[in-house]
Structure 1
Amino acid sequence: MRTLVIETATAACSVALIDSGRVVARAHEIVGRGHAERLIPMIAALPDGGRADHVLVDVGPGSFTGVRVGIAAARGLALGWGVSVSGYSSLPLVAAAAFRNRPDADPDTYNPDIAVVMEGGHGEVFMQAFSADLSPHADLASLKPDAARVAVGSLPAVGNGLRWLADSSEPDSGVTETLPDAADAILLPAALTALPARPIYGRAPDAKPSLPKPAAIR
């Protein structure tokens, strides 16, 4: 089965075609906020215009606008092609790539776990720690930098939110700034690519519904 993967949850915009467990085509660009303008042309430039039997999309957490752009495109293509659509989360994707890229280490000091720290909003970061099999240590959390620094502790950390953790960003600290890449979806187990195609925001909305005004006393 050929799968089109869409990744727009951060400043990166990337797409990939995966067929029979192999990445057959990919594109990856740093676009900042230009996902809406670049995504469809990137898909169109893939073999067969990106046509696939299934569409897989990053549902977050990440950029509010980026996540929604990706999901809208995924749903639209799936509807037009008459194929299925599902989601995956940016956090285990980044963790999977980090585990793949880890250099050999001294077994006496090697930590088998990784913390993913992704840029959130309003001065917070999304943080979640994973074991090598991508099982999470806990639910993802949106944390202030000080709290995230404590939560990360001595774990190796990756993600695009590390600049918020100033104390963990010193040279030679083992910290690596990383953006998700659609082609890395090939590293995810099936259970992590079967999420509903709807956003994971990772934090409560800023706007709260207004309460009804009490009835006037007559």
Structure 2
Amino acid sequence: MILAIDTSTAACTAALFDASGACMSSRDELIGRGHSEKLVPMLEELLEGRSADRILVGVGPGSFTGIRVGIAAAQGLAIAWDCQLSGMSSLALLAAGADTPGEVAAAVDGGHGELFVQQFDTSTREATSKLMNLPPAEAAALISADVVVGPGAAALVDARGSGCAEPAWPSARNAFRLPESLRSLPPKPVYARAPDAKARNAA
């Protein structure tokens, strides 16, 4: 079995798949904060005492704290089960829930009034732009997809003055809609911007 989890946004989501990649069961809950308190009980309910042979964990970008919670839980389970652990793109997971033809952009809050944004082809699920962390107006000038999904979608569409904003959240049940390249990443956080704290220059 394969376990997929993502805690990069206000959503807490997990899914269990069989060896062929078919989803056996999933859980999705919009919780805002408190992933560390919610994730373990959610996994216990989902797994029902079973273990997995592989774990997929969302590595971001998104909430710094949420990403770390998900990766820490996945690392602990991987050690306990002695199983393979891989990262998956949280923005790709968000975009994978969209069935609109052509291209779609995923947008989430990046802090400091900025957005994490990336564009994807909905037929291949591959990225068609680089990952960006920009103010909405700047992101709007670089994103051509008419449909934008995610908690940051409205900000981007409003800044552009055109397009369709669809509020949405990542769902682990879409993990196997991602191409292998986007679900075989190193299980390390993708923060997509520099940390707020700056090192002092040497005297």
Q: Indicate whether the TM-score tops 0.5.
A: yes
* Among 172, 192, 197, the residue aligned to 1:202: 192
- Which residue is equivalent to 1:212? 202
Letter in 2 for 1:201: Y
Count of paired positions: 201
186-195 vs 157-166, greater mean Cα deviation: 157-166
1:1-218 correspondence runs (5 A): 2-19=1-18, 20-49=20-49, 51-98=51-98, 101-102=99-100, 112-132=102-122, 133-153=124-144, 155-165=146-156, 167=158, 173-213=163-203
Deviation, 1:142, is 0.2
Contact 1:168-1:175 within 8 A present in 2 as well: no
Q: Secondary structure in 1 aligned to 2:125?
A: coil
CA distance in 1, matches of 2:163, 2:129: 24
In 2, distance between residues paired with 1:69 and 1:154?
31
Structure 2 unaligned spans of 5+: none
Cα shift readout 1:176-213 (whole Å, capped 9, x = no counterpart): 01110111102112221110110000111121111222
Q: Residues 19-39 of structure 1: CA distance to partner in whole angstroms, max 9, x if unpaired?
A: 122111111111101100000
Q: Provide the TM-score with structure 1 as the length reference.
A: 0.86
Give 3-state SS (helix, strand or coil) of 2:96's partner: helix
Q: Is the 8 A contact 2:148 2:163 kept in 1?
A: no
**Structure 1 portions without partners, runs of 5+:** 103-110, 214-218
- In terms of Rg, which structure is larger? 1
Give % identity: 44
Cα gap change, 1:179/1:169 in structure 2, threshold over 3 Å: closer, same or farther?
A: farther
Q: Distance in 2 between matches of 1:143 and 1:199?
A: 19
Deviates more, 1:89-98 or 1:172-181: 172-181
Instruction: Work out whether residues 162 and 168 of structure 1, in 8 Å CA contact, stay in contact via their aligned partners in 2.
Output: no
Three-state SS of the structure 2 residue aligned to 1:206 is: coil
RMSD: 1.9
Calculate the TM-score normalised by the size of structure 2. 0.92
Please state how far the C-alpha of 1:47 moved relative to its aligned partner. Answer: 3.4
Contact preservation (8 Å) 1:43, 1:50: no
Task: After the TM superposition, list the runs of 4 or more consecutive aligned residues in structure 1 that deviate by more than 6 angstroms.
Answer: none
Mapped to 2, the partners of 1:8 and 1:135 lie a distance apart of 21
Measure, in 2, the Cα distance between the counterparts of 1:153 and 1:190. Answer: 25
Q: Deviations over 1:32-63 (max 9, x none)?
A: 01100000000001133351001110000000
**Kept after mapping to 2: 8 A contact 1:169/1:175:** no
Contact 2:148 2:157 in 1 (8 A): no
Q: Which moved more, 1:88-97 or 1:8-17?
A: 88-97
